[in-house]
Amino acid sequence: MSVDLSTTFTGIKFPNPFLLSSAPPTESESNIVRAFEAGWGGVVTKTIGLHPVVNVAGPKTKFLRYYPELGVSSMNKGRGGVLQSSWNWELISDKTLDWWVPRIGRIKKAFPDRVLIASIMAGSGSDKELDHWRSLATACQEQGADGLELNLSCPHMDREDMGSNIGKDQKLCSSVTQVVKGVAKVPVWAKLTPSTTDIVLEAGAVFTGGGDAVVSSNTFPSIPLVDPETLEFEMNVDGYVSSGGLGGPAILPQSLAKMSQMTRAFPERSFSGIGGISDFNQALNYLLLGCGTVQVCTAAMLDHAVGPNVIKRLVQGMSEFLEKNAHRGWKRLEDFRGIRRDRIVAHSQIRRPADSDYQGGHEPQEGYAEPARA
């Protein structure tokens, strides 16, 4: 039986809901071409900016694995262990907008039915920086980019007016989104940082600014482990580290928690889920919470740089899932999207043993009616 994996998300038609996220798998034309040939429904380009980018003088990404026989987690003991996470302190693309522009045009001409989203990033501290957002947006959409993803989430910025420092500020989330919407002819997604107290507030600010979708998660702030022999951080430059980003299997439950907060608060809005996906079983979690697309980075990096086997497994997994559930009348993603969104409730709403009464931690008040449950 042939199944229909296609979907429409923020008005864009996708052959399947699986994208490579903005990261090394989408840092070059050749990678993106290979990704489309392998079957990815879409890609989000490595983030493009107008400010100078110089990466650290050492490795930019490593993978933390657990070695059960040694009882250790390490980045430096080879492939024998079980993957826990990626850790990176890589900045955005070190290629200029001029380098990207013709490539976006060429890729779209060669793959008109695949989705190319341009990830862009600028500052927010001056009119000049806000103009940079406009220039980036205009240049990419003129080349045929199907949509724009605003990077409000890069965790490695010293600049107060950029990256996750925008994503931590509701007013800036709104105003930057509004600036880009002012020139955008294509849908605008905003990628938020998970590193805030209540991500629902920043998501709301993006929607107030006119954003068409919220994307989450970027990597979680973290540091590498110390090697017990050398007492040096496993990843460092001249002995020094700074806070970088954790991705891969370790962040899946945390990223799902962030996503569930947002999809419950805005059930009618569009969300793209990222974090710890390597197979359809993980992607399914995001879809059941209400996401309309999902994105992958770490698993693709570890699979021939662009994830040809990952996309094969995602497509096969979703096809088998639809076939298995055909008796429920499910034919496509829209038929099961979001069906577990409302199963996440306040702690006090979870059933207690029949003979007990729980007031969410509050004492019953003598002489008053029962307090309303949250």
Ligand X SMILES: Cc1cc2nc3c(=O)[nH]c(=O)nc-3n(C[C@H](O)[C@H](O)[C@H](O)COP(=O)(O)O)c2cc1C
Token reading at 269: 């809005």
One residue of 147, 275, 290, 292 binding ligand X per CB under 6 A: 275
Token reading at 50: 């107008």
Angle at 339 between CA 333 and CA 341, to 5 degrees: 120
Among the residue ranges 6-14, 28-36, 86-94, 160-168, the one whose residues contact ligand X (CB under 6 A): 86-94
For 230, other C-beta atoms within 10 Å of its C-beta total 9
For 83, other C-beta atoms within 10 Å of its C-beta total 17
Instruction: Pick between residue 186 and residue 256 the one whose CB is nearest to ligand X.
Output: 256
One residue of 274, 289, 306, 314 binding ligand X per CB under 6 A: 274
Q: Of 140, 154, 291, 297, which one is the catalytic site residue?
A: 154
- 251 counts as binding ligand X under rule CB under 6 A: yes
Token reading at 44: 């989000």
Site string for ligand X, 56-85 (x = CB under 6 A): ----xx------------------------
Tell me how far, at minimum, the Cβ of 301 lies from ligand X, in Å: 7
Token reading at 115: 């989705």
Site string for ligand X, 294-313 (x = CB under 6 A): --xxxx--------------
Nearest CA to 197 out of 231, 170, 224, 226 is that of: 170
- 46 counts as binding ligand X under rule CB under 6 A: yes
- 47 counts as binding ligand X under rule CB under 6 A: yes
Residue 154: active-site member: yes
Instruction: Pick between residue 313 and residue 322 the one whose CB is nearest to ligand X.
Output: 313
Token reading at 181: 């919407």
Nearest CA to 248 out of 311, 300, 197, 200 is that of: 300
- Region at 77 (left for phi over 0; alpha for psi -120 to 50; beta for the rest): alpha
Compute φ and ψ for 214, nearest 5 degrees.
-115, 140
Q: Residues touching ligand X: how many (CB under 6 A)?
A: 29
Tell me how far, at minimum, the Cβ of 155 lies from ligand X, in Å: 9
Token reading at 306: 């662009």
Q: Please give the residue ranges that form the binding site for ligand X (CB under 6 A).
A: 21-24, 46-47, 60-61, 86, 88, 90, 92, 119, 151, 153, 191, 218-219, 247-248, 251, 274-277, 296-299
Residues classed as catalytic? 154
